[in-house]
């Protein structure tokens, strides 16, 4: 099957099997942690990630998505944005899907423009989006994915501590994050297979509730799952929760950023490439082997 015949969920499933991984590599550059000096921010960032990605190839150990957070690049102005372009191009060269973490949230023509930026200019395979403005915010993004293997991940239950300020409030008969899940289920009909949900790994009970809901609706919404590693979430617990709720592992991506980017600090070595690959191997091992049978419909 050619990629252009797939929806985004099918692309995720294919890449999970191809790379034997559901890890998402969060490519978030922090300049004072990048051990490459003497160049400008564009060169330092681009070289840092290029060397790590070349290491994946040499060791035959891969994630199955790369997620650059736009703000970490944009803070450095045009040099940072040019670095972002290079990071995306390198991942695409390796045929690894790119999730551009931009969390866009506006209405009408504005979100149409944001979608064009993410998919046409940056050539991302997916983007993240806010849910707060509702249907007329999400619909333009989904319309941009029509008949393409492009995805939109809507914030559902986030991994930060402040998520409880609003997402856990009771709205009618249930908590707000479950109301958002219901809307995501509704919105998914606009662009079947191309809508995902951001569901954090730091609140396992809530993750199970969201997973149970979508499974009960027979809707395989792909999850982007941040919060593993530095934020305290556990990949093995995430996998167990998904399995317990009867969810399909292959469409989901478990994200780790600091733990994979800067593993050399944890391992106390100067070889940042080797350390990053070692951390990736450990995370892939913690998640477990990706089995062909898990993608059966």
| Residue 244 domain-assigned (yes or no) | yes
Q: What digits encode the pLDDT tens for the residues 150-186?
A: 999 999 998 888 888 887 778 888 888 999 999 999 9
| Residue 293 domain-assigned (yes or no) | no
Task: Walk along the chain (297 residues) and give the pLDDT tens digit of each residue.
Answer: 344 578 999 999 999 999 999 999 999 999 999 999 878 999 999 999 999 999 999 999 999 999 999 999 999 999 999 999 999 999 999 999 999 999 999 998 999 999 999 999 999 999 999 999 999 999 999 999 999 999 999 999 988 888 888 877 788 888 889 999 999 999 998 888 999 999 998 888 999 999 999 999 999 999 999 988 665 678 999 999 999 999 999 999 999 999 999 999 999 999 999 999 999 999 999 999 787 654 443
| Residue 140 domain-assigned (yes or no) | yes
- Three-state secondary structure readout of the chain: CCHHHCCHHHHHHHHHHHHCCCEEEEECCCHHHCCCCCCCHHHHHHHHHHHHHHHHHHHCCCCCEEEEEHHHHHCCHHHHHHHHHHHHHHHHHCCCCEEEEEEECCCHHHHHHHHHHHHHHCCCCEEEECCCCCHHHHHHHHHCCCCCCCEEEEEEECCCHHHHHCCCCEECCEEHHHHHHHHHHHHCCCCCCCEEEEECCCCHHHHHHHHHHHHHCCCCCCEEECCECCCCECHHHHHHHHHHCCCCHHHCEEEECHHHHCHHHHHCCCCHHHHHHHHHHHHHHHHCCCCHHHHCC
Q: How many other C-beta atoms lie within 10 A of the C-beta of residue 59?
A: 14
Q: Which residues contact 142 (CB under 8 A, 6 or more apart)?
A: 152, 187, 190, 191, 194, 195
Known active-site residue 103: yes
Q: What is the CATH number of the domain that holds 166?
A: 3.20.20.70
| Residue 39 domain-assigned (yes or no) | yes
| Residue 297 domain-assigned (yes or no) | no
Given the residues 15, 67, 103, 220, the one annotated as active site: 103
| Residue 216 domain-assigned (yes or no) | yes
Look at the chain and report how many structural domains it folds into.
1
Neighbouring-strand partners of residue 255? 24
Boundaries of domain holding 243: 3-288
| Residue 8 domain-assigned (yes or no) | yes
**pTM to 2 decimal places:** 0.94
Q: How many other C-beta atoms lie within 10 A of the C-beta of residue 95?
A: 11
Q: What digits encode the pLDDT tens for the residues 238-270?
A: 999 999 999 999 999 999 999 999 999 999 999
What dihedral angle (degrees, nearest 10) is formed by the CA atoms of 101, 72, 68, 207?
Answer: -50
Pick from 136, 130, 127, 132: nearest CA to 107: 136
| Residue 123 domain-assigned (yes or no) | yes
| CB contact at 8 A, 273 and 55 | yes
């Amino acid at each position: 099957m050619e990629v252009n015949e797939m929806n985004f969920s099918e692309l995720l499933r294919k890449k999970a099997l191809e790379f034997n991984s559901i890890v998402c590599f969060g490519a978030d550059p922090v300049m004072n942690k990048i051990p490459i000096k003497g160049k400008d921010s564009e060169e330092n960032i681009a070289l840092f990630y290029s060397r790590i990605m070349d290491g994946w190839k040499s060791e035959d150990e891969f994630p199955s998505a790369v997620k650059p957070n736009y703000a970490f690049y944009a803070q450095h102005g045009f040099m940072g944005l040019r670095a972002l372009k290079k990071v995306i191009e390198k991942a695409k060269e390796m045929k690894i899907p790119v999730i551009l973490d931009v969390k866009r949230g506006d209405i009408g023509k504005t979100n149409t423009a944001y979608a064009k930026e993410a998919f046409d200019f940056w050539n991302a395979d997916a983007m993240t989006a806010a849910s707060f403005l509702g249907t007329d915010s999400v619909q333009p993004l989904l319309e941009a994915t029509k008949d393409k293997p492009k995805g939109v991940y809507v914030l559902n239950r986030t991994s930060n501590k402040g998520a409880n300020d609003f997402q856990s409030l009771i709205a009618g008969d249930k908590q707000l994050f479950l109301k958002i899940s219901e809307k995501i289920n509704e919105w998914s009909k606009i662009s079947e297979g191309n809508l995902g949900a951001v569901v954090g790994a730091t609140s396992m009970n809530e993750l199970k509730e969201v997973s149970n809901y979508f499974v009960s609706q027979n809707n395989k919404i792909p999850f982007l799952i941040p919060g593993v590693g530095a934020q305290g979430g556990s990949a093995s617990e995430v996998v167990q929760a998904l399995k317990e709720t009867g969810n399909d592992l292959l469409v989901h991506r478990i994200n780790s950023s600091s733990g994979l980017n800067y593993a050399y600090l944890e391992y106390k070595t100067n070889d940042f490439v080797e350390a990053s690959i070692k951390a990736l191997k450990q995370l892939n091992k913690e998640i477990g082997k990706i089995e062909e049978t898990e993608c059966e419909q």
